[in-house]
Structure formats: structure tokens, C-alpha cells
């Protein structure tokens, strides 16, 4: 808990920077939390008044006073807030007050700021913010002077479903000590949260970063899919009384070693008092694997009197080798369907380039020993999951404990190739209610899905439709791999009918990859089977439609004539170091043509032999075919260079 009070003489404010007069963020309050929600200690000095004295519904029974302090379980469980409810049994109108301790005397140019949110988009609580200059006197069931002696500063019938910042001027209360009251006056709604209450004095020169642009939807992105990770941007507000000149937003992005890997600046012209400007820098693209944080800083020509609000650092993203995730790894609960007739629940992922999916990771809060588990991947051509393109293997829970399961995608080649588009990855609820872990961040509306045979909407529906309290991403991750990893093949041949007969064949057989395939043989053929081949080694490069390539080779032999040498040929030494002698007995001054080819069929040496001995040198390591032709007859030998 932080209660900050400052008492000033009036003359001290003619040149001071922005001062925090009062601040409460409902964090760090002492006392035990072992009793759970409804038992946490409230900050000292506050007055809580339950004028309606109604009974909360069982789902919100922990709000057993006018206001309670507890963690923001829908958005950030590490942040505590003030909670109020208007959901009563029987239904009724709330009249619940929360008054600050006395604040002041206030200096000139003060303002009140706070954040508010209502949890359920279908039942948005409204409220009033009031101010009074005498102490409030209300009590349980008694309104006291809280209406008659107060003035409304702000009123709404429905707070936003996401955290929203508010601000009102307290300029007319300069020199006075005030009490600020928050009053839930809604009828039969749900939960209202208030946080980060600040009273501060405005100064001449003070710019601040009031908001930063949303980062990626994902907490982890595989490097092969990380093109444009984010476009840094922020809104700068002039909190001062004077115009700010040459306002700029400086952005640095650091990796997990603290090294700056990106730096850029966006500049605006002058910014008048109370005005805002949004500035964005160039996109952060093609990062290497690592964890990245964005650092924003607002700068102006004038000396900023309050530098603490000029800078913000926030988590950007983790670039991984293979993991694609929306969750931040913090367990906030679990969710299943529980209708008893099966179903699917999960979230979608954007695939910007052709990608191989190798497995799906699912984290469960509990298991069901011996029961089935699995996942399905859905196409989203129509904007919703519409057809299954892949499934994982169906496994069985090991036991009833919380566990992580990494389940291979079902495919003969070990992976599934997904072309660019959006795909939903869903856990399958077979015959037991799933307990799929969900996490507080990063939730993006419109991207978490559920469907079961008797779903009230009749089709696939976003999870937020069923309430803000379950609007969370799941610990359900995609694992991706090299699109070429499943591409393989073999080459085989049929023999020629004689040493000089061009009727042998060589055939390439491939598996995996993505058809159609192209073939480039060393013989010049461009089909899967090369024909019209004489004896020798032949190589082929096979390319699939993704650009993946494999190199294959085979040897075409012959069935007749290999022992019908017109001369007796010997090669020594063999193996050799690249230099060897060819000895031909009974050449008898005949002319012999020599060809030496490598295992791909490429001729690396050719010449004419006129004598009984012929020396060859300069060959690199490998296996070669030596072909000697004399008077239409052919002798084939294998030579090895080590």
C-alpha cells in the first residue's frame, strides 16, 4: 500500500514540477491473504460505506463489504485493485461508497486520475466519483452527508470492459482539503474495479508517455515466422501549462543480453498544453532468436520538470527456434467444456509463410488416468475454424496429475505443411472435461475459440462471449520445424544390355515435401526416370514446390560385355593419392580413348592412350569410373582416391 501525502505552503508552487499529492495503487498492503478473497486488508485511512446493505450473489460473495481489495484475476493476478459489486440476491441497486483519507490542502492546477474496468461486457457497472470538503459521515445502511455535502466530479452508467484511464480537474479546490469518493450505484450488474488513484499538481513543463501501442499478439514467435515483429509507437501528452517544442519519441529495443539491437526516433512539432500526439517509429523486423524489450522515452526542447513519467520499458516478444505461443507461462486457472458430448477448445495462430508443424504442446491442470487426449488443427478460410487439416496422435493421460504433453502431429512424414493463412489449434475434449491451463496474457479478442455439439450459439464462438472472467489465452503451443526436413528420396537403376548400349534407366523416388516435383538429371533428363543411358554414374537434383532440394545418385551397370576387354587393363596403385598409372597389355599400338567420371556421372578427365602405360594425376578424393574404349569394345574399372 502506498499512501503519499504532501502538505505545501501556497508560495512553493510557483515553479515546482508535477507533484504527487496522493496516490493509491492497492498493492503491497500488509496483512494475511491466507483466508482468500474477501479477507484481504484494505489500505488504512479509507472509509468504506455499505449503504444498500444487500446480499451479494454467491459468485461474488467475497465482496462482503462495500468494497474489497483483491488481485485483478481477469487481467493481471499480480496487481491488486478495489472491487465492488451490484450483483445481489435478490436483485437490487448498489449504493456502495469508497472514500479516500483527507487530501490537501491542494495546490493550484491539481487533477484527479484513476483507472476503471467492468468485468462483464454484458453487465457493465456504472458509478460516480464525488468530492467533498468535509469528512463523510455515512455508515452501513445510512447515507449520512455523503450526497448532500458532495459534488459529482464524474459519472457513467457503464464503465469500459477494458482498463480505462480517467482524469478530472480539481483546479477549483485549490487551497482546500478534500475527500474523493467512488460510488457504485448500478442495478444488477457484475463487478467494478478501480485502481491507480492519483491526485497531482500540474507544472509548466511536463510531457509524459500516456500509452504505448499494443505489441505482438504472441509471447513467443518462431524465428522463421518473425518478419515484422512490432511497430513501436506511443502517445505523448503535454501535462504542463506551457507549449512543448520539438517533441520526440526515442525508441530502443534490447535483447536478453541488454544489447541495443534497434534504435529509432520519431519527431513531432510543438505540443500545446493538454494535447496529445501519437508517434511511431519504423518496424522492428527479422530479429534473431532472443528475448526483446522496448524502451520508450519522451523528449522536448524544454527542461522537463517531471522526468519519472518520460520513460516506459515493456516486454516485446521472445523469438524462439520453434515455439509459437500466446501464453506467458503464468497459470491463472484452467478451462474445459464439460457438456458431456465432446468438443474443441483452443486458439488460432497466423502462419505468414509456408511452415512445417511438428507437434502441439498442451498443459493440463489435471489429468484423467487412462483417458484420451489429443489436438486438432483447423483451417480458417472463412474466418472461423471450418475444416480439420491435421491431428495429433491420440494419447492417454499418464495419471490424474497436472502435466505437459507434447504430442506429434499425425503424418506419415512426421510433420504437416501449412501454407500461409490462419489456423486454429484446439485441444479435443473426448469423454472427460478438459482442464486446459489458461494464462493472464496475451489475450486478444477474436482469437480464442470453443465449439461443442450443443453450444448455445450453434457454431464456433469466441471465448469472450461467455464472460470476461474466462477471457484468457491457453497454454497451448505450436511447435514448427524446417519445411524441408521431411523431404527425402532414393534413386535406383536398371542395367544396360551391353557395355555400349544406351538402354539403361535411372529412377528417382521421393517422399514428403510438397508436390509437384522437378527433376534435373546429369544426363539432361527432366522426368522422374531418365532413359537411354549407357553404363555409368548418374545424379539427379529433385526440387519440390517449396524450393526444397535433395541430391540423389545411382550407378547404371550393364549385363554383357564387361569381361570382353580387347586388352588386359590394370591400374596401380588403387586406391591412390590421386596419381596412378594405367597399364594396358596387348594394346599393340592401337588407340584407346580414356574417360574418368565421378559418382554423379560428370566426366572429370578424358584423353587418348597410345602406349602400354598412361599416367593420370590431380584427382581429388572420391570414387571414379575408368572407361577405356578400343575398337568399339569397352573396359570399365573402378578407381579410388583417398
Residue of higher predicted confidence among 130 and 354: 130
3-state secondary structure 347-399: EEEEECCCEEEEEEEEEECCCCCCCEECEEEEECCCCCCCEEEEEECCEECCC
Instruction: Read off the pLDDT band of 9 (50, 70, 90).
Output: very low
Q: Is the pLDDT of residue 52 over 90?
A: yes
Here the CATH number for the domain that contains residue 246 is: 2.60.40.10
Nearest-angstrom CA–CA distance, 440 and 71: 12
Nearest-angstrom CA–CA distance, 148 and 142: 13
Region for residue 333 given its phi and psi (left: phi exceeds 0; alpha: psi -120 to 50; beta: otherwise): left
Residue of higher predicted confidence among 542 and 640: 542
pLDDT tens digits, one per residue of 358-377: 999 999 999 999 999 999 99
Q: What cell was used for 609?
A: 592412350
pLDDT tens digits, one per residue of 56-79: 999 999 998 899 999 999 999 889
Residue of higher predicted confidence among 125 and 595: 125
- pLDDT of 412 reads 55
pTM score, whole prediction: 0.60
Assess whether 311 and 333 both reside in one domain: no
Mean pLDDT score, 197-224: 93
CA 299 distance to own-chain centroid: 31
Cα-flanking dihedrals φ and ψ of residue 142, to 5°? -125, 125
Q: Does some domain include residue 388?
A: yes
Assess whether 366 and 477 both reside in one domain: yes
Q: Does some domain include residue 562?
A: no
Q: What is the chain's mean pLDDT, rounded? A: 90
- pLDDT of 159 reads 98
Q: Does some domain include residue 3?
A: no
The percentage of residues in the chain with a pLDDT greater than 90, rounded to a whole number, is 70
- pLDDT of 640 reads 84
pLDDT tens digits, one per residue of 180-193: 999 999 999 999 99
Instruction: Read off the pLDDT band of 631 (50, 70, 90).
Output: low
- pLDDT of 616 reads 83
Of the listed ranges 33-37, 48-52, 388-392, the least confidently predicted one is: 33-37
Q: Does some domain include residue 561?
A: no
Q: Is the pLDDT of residue 318 over 70?
A: yes
Question: Of 127, 73, 78, 75, which is closest to residue 98 (Cα–Cα)?
Answer: 127
- pLDDT of 23 reads 96
Q: Where are the alpha helices (DSSP H) in 402-449?
A: none
Contact 21, 110 (CB under 8 A): yes
Assess whether 352 and 376 both reside in one domain: yes
- pLDDT of 578 reads 82
Mean pLDDT score, 320-346: 95
Q: What cell was used for 395?
A: 494419447
Question: Of 583, 559, 574, which is closest to residue 623 (Cα–Cα)?
Answer: 574
Q: Is the pLDDT of residue 335 over 60?
A: yes
Q: What cell was used for 551?
A: 541430391
Assess whether 108 and 14 both reside in one domain: yes
Assess whether 435 and 366 both reside in one domain: yes
Assess whether 274 and 350 both reside in one domain: no
Q: Is the pLDDT of residue 300 over 50?
A: yes
Mean pLDDT score, 92-96: 98
- pLDDT of 586 reads 65
Q: Does some domain include residue 512?
A: yes
- pLDDT of 563 reads 41
Q: How far is CA 587 from CA 290, 470, 565, 594, 628, in A?
A: 70, 91, 11, 13, 11
Contact 572, 580 (CB under 8 A): yes
Assess whether 39 and 181 both reside in one domain: yes
- pLDDT of 414 reads 54
Q: Does some domain include residue 5?
A: no
Q: Is the pLDDT of residue 141 over 60?
A: yes
Of the listed ranges 14-28, 195-209, 478-492, the least confidently predicted one is: 14-28
pLDDT tens digits, one per residue of 497-526: 888 899 999 999 998 788 899 999 999 999
Domains contained in the chain, number: 5
End position of a domain, from candidates 252, 287, 320 = 320
- pLDDT of 571 reads 82
- pLDDT of 635 reads 74
Assess whether 223 and 296 both reside in one domain: yes
Here the CATH number for the domain that contains residue 622 is: 2.60.40.3080
- Coil, strand or helix at 201: strand
Instruction: Read off the pLDDT band of 609 (50, 70, 90).
Output: confident
End position of a domain, from candidates 531, 556, 581 = 556
Assess whether 315 and 334 both reside in one domain: no
The percentage of residues in the chain with a pLDDT greater than 70, rounded to a whole number, is 93
Assess whether 45 and 146 both reside in one domain: yes
Q: Is the pLDDT of residue 421 over 90?
A: yes
Here the CATH number for the domain that contains residue 76 is: 2.60.120.200
Assess whether 292 and 383 both reside in one domain: no
- pLDDT of 590 reads 66
Domain hosting 43: range is: 10-201
Q: Is the pLDDT of residue 13 over 70?
A: no
- pLDDT of 16 reads 37
Assess whether 384 and 292 both reside in one domain: no
End position of a domain, from candidates 320, 345, 370 = 320
Nearest-angstrom CA–CA distance, 339 and 498: 73
pLDDT tens digits, one per residue of 524-540: 999 999 999 999 999 99
Cα-flanking dihedrals φ and ψ of residue 59, to 5°? -70, -20
Q: How far is CA 505 from CA 92, 538, 597, 598, 636, in A?
A: 88, 10, 18, 18, 18
- Look at the alpha carbons of 398, 403, 409, 414 in this order and tell me if their dihedral is positive or negative: negative
Amino acid at each position: 500500500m502506498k499512501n503519499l501525502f504532501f502538505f505545501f505552503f501556497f508560495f512553493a508552487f510557483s515553479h515546482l514540477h508535477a507533484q504527487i499529492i496522493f496516490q493509491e495503487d492497492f498493492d503491497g498492503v500488509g496483512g494475511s491473504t491466507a483466508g482468500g478473497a474477501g479477507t484481504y486488508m484494505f489500505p488504512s485511512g479509507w472509509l468504506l460505506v455499505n449503504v444498500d446493505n444487500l446480499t451479494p450473489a454467491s459468485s461474488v460473495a467475497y465482496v462482503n463489504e462495500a468494497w474489497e481489495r483483491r488481485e485483478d484475476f481477469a487481467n493481471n493476478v499480480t496487481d491488486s485493485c478495489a472491487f465492488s459489486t451490484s450483483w445481489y440476491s435478490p436483485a437490487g441497486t448498489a449504493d456502495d461508497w469508497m472514500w479516500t483519507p483527507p487530501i490537501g490542502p491542494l495546490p493550484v492546477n491539481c487533477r484527479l486520475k484513476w483507472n476503471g474496468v467492468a468485468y462483464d461486457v454484458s453487465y457493465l457497472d456504472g458509478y460516480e466519483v464525488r468530492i467533498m470538503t468535509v469528512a463523510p459521515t455515512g455508515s452501513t445502511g445510512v447515507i449520512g452527508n455523503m450526497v448532500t455535502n458532495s459534488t459529482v466530479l464524474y459519472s457513467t452508467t457503464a464503465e469500459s470492459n477494458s482498463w480505462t484511464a480517467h482524469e478530472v480537474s480539481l483546479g477549483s479546490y485549490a487551497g482546500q482539503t478534500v475527500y474523493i469518493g467512488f460510488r457504485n450505484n448500478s442495478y444488477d450488474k457484475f463487478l467494478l474495479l478501480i485502481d491507480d488513484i492519483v491526485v497531482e499538481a500540474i507544472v509548466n513543463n511536463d510531457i509524459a508517455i500516456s500509452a504505448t501501442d499494443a505489441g505482438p499478439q504472441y509471447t513467443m514467435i518462431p524465428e522463421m515466422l518473425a518478419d515484422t515483429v512490432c511497430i513501436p509507437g506511443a502517445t505523448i501528452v503535454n501535462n504542463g501549462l506551457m507549449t512543448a517544442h520539438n517533441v520526440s519519441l526515442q525508441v530502443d529495443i534490447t535483447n536478453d543480453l541488454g544489447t541495443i539491437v534497434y534504435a529509432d526516433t520519431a519527431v513531432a512539432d510543438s505540443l500545446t498544453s493538454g494535447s496529445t500526439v501519437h508517434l511511431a517509429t519504423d518496424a522492428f523486423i527479422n530479429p534473431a532468436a532472443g528475448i526483446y524489450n522496448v524502451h520508450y522515452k519522451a523528449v522536448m526542447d524544454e527542461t522537463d520538470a517531471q522526468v519519472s513519467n518520460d520513460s516506459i520499458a515493456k516486454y516485446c516478444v521472445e523469438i524462439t527456434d520453434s515455439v509459437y505461443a500466446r501464453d506467458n507461462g503464468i497459470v491463472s486457472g484452467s478451462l474445459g467444456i464439460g457438456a458431456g458430448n465432446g468438443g474443441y477448445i483452443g486458439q488460432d495462430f497466423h502462419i505468414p509463410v509456408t511452415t512445417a508443424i511438428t507437434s502441439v504442446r498442451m498443459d493440463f491442470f489435471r489429468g484423467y488416468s487412462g483417458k484420451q487426449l489429443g489436438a486438432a488443427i483447423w483451417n480458417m478460410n472463412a474466418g472461423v475454424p471450418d475444416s480439420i487439416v491435421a491431428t495429433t496422435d491420440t494419447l492417454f493421460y499418464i495419471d490424474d496429475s497436472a502435466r505437459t504433453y507434447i504430442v506429434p502431429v499425425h503424418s506419415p512424414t512426421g510433420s504437416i505443411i501449412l501454407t500461409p493463412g490462419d489456423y486454429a489449434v484446439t485441444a479435443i475434449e473426448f469423454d472427460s472435461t478438459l482442464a486446459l491451463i489458461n494464462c493472464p496474457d496475451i489475450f486478444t479478442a477474436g482469437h480464442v475459440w470453443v465449439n461443442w455439439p450443443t453450444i448455445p450459439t450453434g457454431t464456433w464462438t469466441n471465448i469472450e462471449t461467455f464472460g470476461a472472467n474466462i477471457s484468457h489465452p491457453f497454454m497451448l503451443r505450436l511447435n514448427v520445424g524446417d519445411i524441408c526436413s521431411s523431404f527425402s528420396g532414393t534413386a535406383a537403376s536398371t542395367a544396360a544390355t551391353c557395355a555400349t548400349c544406351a538402354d539403361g534407366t535411372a529412377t528417382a523416388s521421393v517422399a514428403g515435401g510438397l508436390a509437384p516435383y522437378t527433376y534435373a538429371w546429369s544426363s539432361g533428363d527432366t522426368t522422374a526416370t531418365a532413359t537411354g543411358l549407357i553404363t555409368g554414374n548418374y545424379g539427379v537434383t529433385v526440387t519440390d514446390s517449396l524450393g526444397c532440394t535433395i541430391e540423389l545418385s545411382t550407378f547404371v551397370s550393364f549385363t554383357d560385355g564387361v569381361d570382353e576387354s580387347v586388352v588386359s587393363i590394370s591400374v596401380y596403385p588403387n586406391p591412390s593419392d590421386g596419381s596412378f598409372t594405367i597399364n594396358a597389355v596387348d594394346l599393340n599400338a592401337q588407340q584407346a580413348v580414356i574417360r574418368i567420371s565421378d559418382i554423379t556421372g560428370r566426366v572429370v578427365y578424358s584423353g587418348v592412350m597410345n602406349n602400354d602405360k598412361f599416367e593420370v594425376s590431380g584427382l581429388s578424393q572420391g570414387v571414379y569410373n575408368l572407361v577405356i574404349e578400343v575398337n568399339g569394345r569397352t573396359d570399365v574399372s573402378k578407381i579410388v582416391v583417398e
